[in-house]
Amino acid sequence: MSARLVRPLILCGVLVLTLALLGLAACAPQPAQPAPAKPAEPAKAAAPEPAKPAAQPAPAKPAEPAKPAAQPAKPAAQPAKPAAPAQTYRYRLGIVVSKAALGGEFGTTFVEKVKEKSNGRIQVDFFDNAQLGGETEMMGGLRLGTIDMAIVGSGIVGQVEPTFSLTELPFVWKDANHVHGVLDGAVGQRMTSMLEPKGIKVLAFGEWGYRDLLVRTKPVNSADDVKGMKVRVIENPIYVSTWRTFGANPVPMAWPEVYTGLQQGTIDSVDTNPIGMRDAKLYEVAKNLALTHHIYTVIVLQMNLEKWKALPPDLQQAIMEAAKEGSKANRERAKTENEKAIDIMKGAGVATTTPDIAKFRTEAEKVHKQFSAQVGPDLLKQVQDAAK
């Protein structure tokens, strides 16, 4: 080969070899080149940033006042609030006689004792001399609740509950002890329980004692002397029937009308207790007293049932205890008071007689039979048996 041809061939080979070497170099992994040097950021740990506090403090809130290690202790027990004042109760009590008369001490003792036993929480205003009405009116008021309390004769109570007329049967009682034993026992309890459905609570029994006959027209010595006589009686069928059986003409009349009735001759006589005669000054217009002792008058301290139920048990107990003391005071006084009243009337010119009561007693048995079913035959038998 000529040198002229060889030289270009060598140059071409050298060129090809160079190009090949360059291509290999481009494909080979290139050594990691340091990233263009950014100004070195201060290392977070090593070179502290502009001072964040160790734990970056929140923008400083004003420090809350430190709570006391333990909040001020509440008083171990706060003083109790003053208790609300205990409820008080005020009632009205009525009676047809005066406070000075027999029966008045029943009310005055009760009023005093109930205030004492209730520590002043119960106050009772006592109205005497029929200021709250006659006995029949007061019984109506008790049922309606317009009257709180009343002391009323058992015969008038019998208008509402007939078993109470048991006490009014003529010649059924032997003496005062007989009366007390029966009424303070099972018979009395049964009677009072039968009045409650009528809206009345019985608190205690008392008495006006034996009834006699004060006459305007003439003396009475026997049952025959009352025949045709106009006799004032209480508004009770037993009284009406009793005097009809005796042959008289019974006239039911409220107590406040009796004096005028005698004075004007509307009635000839009045069937009541000597103390009642004296207290109402009936002896001024009637001058003959027949000591018949035909009926023993029981009186009853009562209360409106709803007002009773509204009381707490401790005050109910206070009322019952006070009523019992009132009854005791009344019975003690009754032992002698009617005799004293008779003496006073004698001193005022009243003539007394003691009639033969045998015929009265015989006629009275008819009344017992007539009213046995009304008052309860079993109760009547218990009363009769207790007299033996």
pLDDT, tens digit (0-9, with 9 covering 90-100), for 196-236:
999 999 999 999 999 999 999 999 999 999 999 999 998 88
Q: How far is CA 280 from CA 220, 259, 345, in A?
A: 21, 7, 11
Determine how β-strand 269-272 pairs with β-strand 122-127. unpaired
Predicted local distance difference test score (pLDDT) of residue 289: 98
pLDDT for 86 equals 84
Name the CA radius of gyration of the chain, rounded: 54
Contact assessment for residue 297 and residue 211, using Cβ atoms and an 8 Å cutoff: yes
- Mean local confidence (pLDDT), 327-336: 94
Mean pLDDT score across all residues of the chain:
85
For residues 171-185, average pLDDT: 94
User: What top-level class would CATH report for the domain 89-386?
Assistant: alpha beta
CA distance 317 to 334: 26
Three-state SS for 204?
Answer: strand
Residues 81-87: what's their mean pLDDT? 74
Contact 214, 283 (CB under 8 A): yes
For residue 277, name the pLDDT band (cuts at 50, 70, 90): very high
Q: How many CA atoms lie within 13 A of 100 on its CB side?
A: 5
| Least-confidence region, from 18-22, 138-142, 153-157 | 18-22
**pTM value > 0.85:** no
Give CA separation, 228 vs 52, 183, 238, 257, in Å. Answer: 129, 35, 18, 21
- Does 44 score more than 70 pLDDT? no
Higher pLDDT, residue 276 or 119 = 119
